[in-house]
């Protein structure tokens, strides 16, 4: 079936957000006089949200109230520095240009909250290029539920069966498959050492964004 649209996960698939996430985390850790975390370590957990990100540096050192205060501080710092160093993943600009040249729609389905997703897309000049941008709170369910994927298809006026979804977490593949999309797992994304990407059930595993065009052209 001809591919009409490509959908991307955001963090670690479309955009390398780890530098700005690491900055925000380290500002929080510095306020507690705790050791700072490397961008490499942040990349391993960046896809799993603020709780996992904070626990990377804070561990269990704070009580529940203190942890929530740290989370709000993380959010505030990240919001103020959301696109200082973030950029498209290597090779992604070439891919997007190829898609646009072939009049293939592309969009984003992420679990990142709208308050962060929308400003980031605007700052990187992607908001007007994306045919749809679905955040973690756009619908009443987030990935691995298929509802955000189906919402994106309605926004683009395409059927799920003509979409390819690319992500770097198992929940991305679960959501895409539940929506009856073709799924590609991004080995170039934010993977933890124990991730078994070849066992996620994706139709393919890719090492570079340009391989997506090979899938499209094989239709």
Per-residue model confidence as pLDDT tens digits over 123-161:
999 999 999 999 999 999 999 999 999 999 999 999 999
Instruction: Look at residue 138 in the predicted model and tell me its pLDDT.
Output: 98
Within 10 A of 42 (CB to CB), how many other CB atoms are there? 23
Strands 105-109, 5-8: parallel, antiparallel or unpaired by DSSP?
parallel
Mean pLDDT check: name the lowest of 19-28, 45-54, 114-123: 45-54
What pTM did the predictor assign? 0.95
Percent of the chain at pLDDT exceeding 70: 100
Which pLDDT band holds residue 62 (cuts at 50, 70, 90)? Answer: confident
Spatial separation of the C-alpha atoms in residues 23 and 25, rounded to whole Å: 6
Question: In the prediction, which pLDDT does 218 show?
Answer: 79
User: What is the reported pLDDT for 120?
Assistant: 98
Tokens coding 61: 């050192």
The residues annotated with a catalytic role in the active site are 9, 11
Return the CATH class of domain 5-16+87-217: alpha beta
User: Given pLDDT bands bounded at 50, 70 and 90, which one contains residue 47?
Assistant: confident
Given a cut of 90, whether residue 119 has pLDDT beyond it is yes
Q: DSSP secondary-structure letter at 215?
A: H
Residue 77 has phi, psi (to 5 degrees) of: -65, -45
pLDDT at 1 over 80: no
| Alpha-carbon span 12 to 137, nearest angstrom | 19
Q: What percent of the chain has pLDDT over 90?
A: 92
Q: Which residue has the tokens 């006089």?
A: 33
| Residue 19 tokens, joined | 């530098």
Say how far apart CA 130 and CA 186 lie, in whole Å.
Answer: 20
CA dihedral 92, 36, 116, 164 (to 10 degrees): 30
| Position 219 confidence tier, pLDDT thresholds 50, 70, 90 | low
Average pLDDT of the chain to the nearest whole number: 96
């Amino acid at each position: 079936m001809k591919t009409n649209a490509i959908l991307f996960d955001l963090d670690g698939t479309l955009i390398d957000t780890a530098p700005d996430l690491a900055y925000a985390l380290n500002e929080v850790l510095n306020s507690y006089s705790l050791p700072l975390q490397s961008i490499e370590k942040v990349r391993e957990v960046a896809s799993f949200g603020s709780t996992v990100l904070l626990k990377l540096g804070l561990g269990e050192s704070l009580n529940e109230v203190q942890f929530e205060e740290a989370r709000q501080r993380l959010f505030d710092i990240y919001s103020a520095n959301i696109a200082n160093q973030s950029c498209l993943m290597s090779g992604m600009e070439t891919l997007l240009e190829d898609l646009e040249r072939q009049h293939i729609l592309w969009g984003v389905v992420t679990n990142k909250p709208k308050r962060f997703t929308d400003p980031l897309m605007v700052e990187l000049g992607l908001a007007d290029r994306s045919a749809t941008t679905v955040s973690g709170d756009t619908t009443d369910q987030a990935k691995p539920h298929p509802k955000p994927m189906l919402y994106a298809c309605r926004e683009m006026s395409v059927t799920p069966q003509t979409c390819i979804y690319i992500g770097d977490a198992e929940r991305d593949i679960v959501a895409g498959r539940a929506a009856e999309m073709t799924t590609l797992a991004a080995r170039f994304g934010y993977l933890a050492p124990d991730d078994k990407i070849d066992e996620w059930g994706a139709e393919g595993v890719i090492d570079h964004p340009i391989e997506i065009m090979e899938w499209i052209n094989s239709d």
